[in-house]
Structure 1
Amino acid sequence: MITMYTTSWCPDCHAAKQALATLGLPFQEINIEQDPSAAELVMKVNNGKRSVPTLVYGEHAASMSRFSISKLRAWIEQVGLQSGQQ
């Protein structure tokens, strides 16, 4: 399952959640404002940047800041997911 690290105020996070739902890809959401260890993980995988949304699937992590559906689709293909897959 995809883990999405978000904040409550992030418009890119809202867009990414909608896109994942539309593609039928389940995810769990973790708000980094409420979980300091999650914020640390986000900074670690994004070279010190607190960048959201950050998606993690297995060993793969990527910031989806400046979200676009094409950016999401490229990441989904890179990590080997398909629409509707868990």
Structure 2
Amino acid sequence: MSVTVYTTTRCPYCVMLKNFLMEREIPFNEVNVESDPEKMQELINKTGQMGVPQTEINGQWVIGFDPNSIMMALKQ
């Protein structure tokens, strides 16, 4: 299972998402796009979205803090 969370420093929903994953002991990689403009551009190119958080789970994208969609993607 591969989970990558794209975040920024001041995003409250990013914190909520990371806490959600940690509480459920779901391992994830975090990419802070605020400190890496190249990664931000890659993210926009992949999803067409500028907002965060965005989560990639085994190649499937979940935009925003959406616990139900995250859990569904993890079960696939």
For this structure pair, what is the TM-score category when the shorter chain's length is used for normalisation? 0.7 to 0.9
| 1:56-81, Cα deviation, whole Å (9 max, x unpaired) | 13322221x2x24223223323xx2x
Displacement after TM superposition at 1:46 (Å): 2.2
Task: State the match for 1:54 in structure 2.
Answer: 54
Q: Secondary structure at the match of 2:30?
A: strand
Distance 1:3 1:38, change over 3 A: same
Q: Distance in 2 between matches of 1:74 and 1:57?
A: 10
Q: Does residue 8 in structure 1 map to residue 9 in structure 2?
A: yes
Question: What pairs up with 1:34-45 in 2 under 5 angstroms?
Answer: 34-45=35-46
Matching residue's letter, 1:10: C
Q: Distance in 2 between matches of 1:74 and 1:18?
A: 18
Task: State the match for 1:74 in structure 2.
Answer: 72
Percent identical among aligned pairs is 25
- Show structure 2 runs of 5+ residues with no match: none
TM-score of the pair, normalised by structure 1: 0.73
- Show structure 1 runs of 5+ residues with no match: 81-86
Aligned residues: 75
Q: Distance in 1 between matches of 2:45 and 2:74?
A: 21
Matching residue's letter, 2:70: L
TM-score of the pair, normalised by structure 2: 0.81
Q: Distance in 2 between matches of 1:39 and 1:25?
A: 24
Matching residue's letter, 2:41: E
